[in-house]
Amino acid sequence: MANEVNNNGQRIDMIKRSSFPEDFVFGTASSAYQYEGDAFKDGKGPSTWDAYTHKHPERIVDHSNGDKAVDEYHRYKEDVALMKNIGFGVYRFSIAWTRILPLGKLSGGVNKDGIEYYHNLIDELLANGIKPYVTLFHWDVPEALEIEYGGFLNRQIVEHFQEFAELCFKEFGNKVKHWITFNEQFIYTFKSYVVGEYAQGRGAEWDKSRYLGGNSATEPYIVGHNSILAHAAAVNVYKTKYQEEQKGEIGITLEATWYVPYSDSDPYAAYRAFEFSLNWFLHPIVHGYYPITMKALVGERLPKFTNEESILITNSFDFLGINYYTANYAKHNSNSSSSYPEGSYLRDVNATLSTDRDGVPIGPKVRPSSWLAAYPQGLKKLLLYIKKTYKDPVIYITENGYFDYDSPNVDELLRDEGRIKYFNDHLYYLREAIEAGVRVRGYFAWSLLDNFEWANGYSMRFGLIYVDFKNNLERIQKDSAKWFHNFLTT
Active site residues: 184, 399
> Cβ neighbours of residue 433 under 8 Å, at least 6 residues apart?
379, 380, 383, 384, 440
Cβ proximity of 83 and 464 under 8 Å? no
Residue 116, SS3 per DSSP: helix
Name the nearest CA neighbour of 372 among 403, 413, 329: 403
Angle at 418 between CA 477 and CA 255, to 5 degrees: 95
d(CA 111, CA 472): 28
d(CA 210, CA 285): 34
Q: Letter for the amino acid at 321?
A: G
Cβ proximity of 89 and 139 under 8 Å? no
d(CA 341, CA 256): 26
259 bridge partner residues: 328
Helix %, strand %, coil % of the chain (to 5): 45, 15, 40
Prior bond of 447 cis (ω within 30°): yes
Instruction: Give the helix ranges, DSSP H, for 18-131.
Output: 32-35, 48-55, 72-86, 97-100, 112-127
d(CA 212, CA 25): 43
DSSP 449: B
The torsion defined by the Cα of 74, 80, 85 and 89, in degrees rounded to 10, comes to 170
Per DSSP (E only), the strands in 213-338 are 249-255, 258-261, 319-323, 327-332
Cβ proximity of 92 and 27 under 8 Å? yes
DSSP 153: G
> Cβ neighbours of residue 105 under 8 Å, at least 6 residues apart?
142, 145, 160, 163, 164
Cβ proximity of 221 and 302 under 8 Å? yes
DSSP 60: S
